[in-house]
Amino acid sequence: MAIQAKASIIPVGIVGSNEVMPSRKLKIQTGKHVDIFIGEPIETTRFTNRTKNELMQIVESRIRTLTNQ
């Protein structure tokens, strides 16, 4: 969708959300914190549907860098 719209993608990394609300549980744990990291925009104008996998790898890499994983 971002390629078709020629919209930038903003990578966002979230760390600690599983400690606040573990998967398969509806109870929110208090006393925990969540860190949210927002990266630099990724321009999509040079990508096409044929090169979307390259774009997805770039986005994933940027998110991993943000969260140091």
Q: Which residues contact 49 (CB under 8 A, 6 or more apart)?
A: 3
pLDDT in tens, 40-66: 999 999 999 999 999 999 999 999 999
Q: Which domain holds residue 19?
A: 2-67
Number of domains into which the chain is organized: 1
Please report which confidence band the pLDDT of residue 69 belongs to, taking 50, 70 and 90 as the band edges. low
What is the predicted pLDDT for the residue at 47? 97
pLDDT in tens, 12-47: 999 998 888 888 888 888 878 999 999 999 999 999
